[in-house]
Structure 1
Amino acid sequence: MSSNENGTVPPGAFDDVFEANASYAETYSLAGLKPVAARGLALVTCMDSRIEPLQMLGLKPGDAKILRNAGARVTDDTLRTLVLAVYLLGVDRVLILPHTNCKMASVPGDDTVHDLIQEEYGVDTRSLEFHTNDDQLGALAHDLERIRHHPLLPAGLPVTGAIYDVDTGRVAPTGL
């Protein structure tokens, strides 16, 4: 469902989420929670809806800063956010956590995704970089190094990677 030509949203398009929020707000209990990461953790993971970041790592609201994007990739925006999280929001360690059966790790490169979207929807997305890579461990190693060697992040910042298995719920450290 998309906006109309004049930019308006079709009536009722978001009623389900706003109604759910009204119920949520009735028992809301996080007022006054500090904006810092109480456990010092920044988690970079995928936007995949099969991932429940807090539950899978034994965290509760306020424990971590969670950054999500397609493929759990360390993009320039991820680095910008990590710099802010380290210096202003109490982050003192970073976990990069891609997952099994990820669409972004199942194609050899961005061209495949661009072609698919062009063929199926008639939309040219070549102005975007999707950061796809079918070598998931290689991409993870690259992303870890981007953080470890970023000039604005502290030397020695603990950074590690793991893979989340969407079929078992287990997190496997990679040793990278």
Structure 2
Amino acid sequence: MTATSILLERNQALAEGFDAADLPILPKLGTMILTCIDARVDPAHILGLELGEAVVIRNNGGRVTDAVIQEIGAIAFMVKQMSGGQGGGFELVILQHTQCGAQRLADPEMQQALKKNLGIDVSQSAIHDHEETMKDDIKRLRSAPEIPDNIVVSALLYDVKTGAAREIVAPKMLGGRA
């Protein structure tokens, strides 16, 4: 049996009692979560999310990269269009975690090897210090012209050993008004 067949069996069990009547296209909590691709870090489990409550973006380290800025900007634009020009704001939670592989990407030798062998620049994904990295990422969002200033941003650090998430940056509107 392959992993795909196991996943399809699990999906069949979900589909048997599925009711999409309560699932609007916009997330119920008005929330987007940016987190790492690490399999130990599933925001639905960590934060107790239900289907339809939040949009989740995942990448190496849960970092604000150029691609993430484009995604957030596009989603904010679509939300504004879907709400008839009202709003467009939502809450963005940056969720990083301890023992992250992106910490290895901070090693200059690793960065050089990836650049030389694969042509990949991982500098935007590298994590030197979680607290500083998340604060820097919020500054990056604040200075990105694609990102509206009515988005509320916070940052959490999840401990993979204890299961606890700790607030690093309290929720604050990017424009500084909340």
TM superposition score category, shorter chain reference: 0.7 to 0.9
Contact preservation (8 Å) 2:94, 2:155: yes
* Whole-Å separation in 2 of the counterparts to 1:143 and 1:15: 38
Residue in structure 2 matching 1:170, options 160, 164, 167: 164
Encode CA deviations 1:22-51: one digit per residue, 9 max, x unaligned: 233222233561110221111101111112
Cα pair distance change 1:148/1:32, threshold 3 Å? same
> Which has the larger displacement, 20-29 or 40-49?
20-29
Question: Post-superposition shift, 1:156?
Answer: 4.3
Contact kept in structure 2, 1:109 and 1:133, CA below 8 Å = no
1:156–1:36 distance in 2 versus 1, CA, 3 Å: closer
Give the Cα separation in 2 of the matches to 1:37 and 1:91: 12
Query: Residues 30 and 52 of structure 1: is their aligned pair in 2 closer, same or farther, counting only changes over 3 Å?
Result: farther
**Matched residues in 2 for 1:58 and 1:12: separation?**
29
| Structure in which a larger fraction of residues adopt helix | 2
Instruction: Find 1:100's aligned residue among 98, 101, 108.
Output: 98
Give the equivalent residue in structure 2 for 1:153.
147
Partner residue in 2 for 1:19: 9
With structure 2 as the length reference, what TM-score do the two structures score?
Answer: 0.75
Deviations 1:135-163 (A, max 9, x none): 22222122111112211222242212110
Q: Distance in 1 between matches of 2:103 and 2:111?
A: 11
Note the C-alpha offset of 1:165: 1.0
Structure 1 17/133 Cα, relative in aligned 2: closer, same or farther at 3 Å? same
CA distance in structure 1 between the aligned counterparts of 2:131 and 2:112, rounded to whole angstroms: 23
Q: Is the 8 A contact 2:111 2:122 kept in 1?
A: no
Amino acid in structure 1 at the alignment position of 2:161: D
**How far did residue 108 of structure 1 move?**
2.7
* TM-superposition CA deviations, 1:92-123 (whole Å, max 9, x none): 111111001111124533641664x79xxxx9
Residue in 1 that maps onto 2:82: none
More strand by share: 2
Which secondary structure does the structure 1 equivalent of 2:154 belong to?
Answer: strand
**RMSD between superposed Cα atoms in Å:** 2.8
Distance 1:19 1:82, change over 3 A: same
Q: Compute the TM-score of the two structures, normalised by the length of structure 1.
A: 0.76
Stretches of structure 2 lacking an aligned partner (at least 5 in a row):
80-87, 171-178
Tell me, in whole angstroms, the C-alpha distance in 2 between the residues paired with 1:20 and 1:114: 42
Is the counterpart of residue 125 in structure 1 residue 123 in structure 2? no
- Partners of 1:172 and 1:13 lie apart in 2 by 33
SS in 2 for 1:174: strand
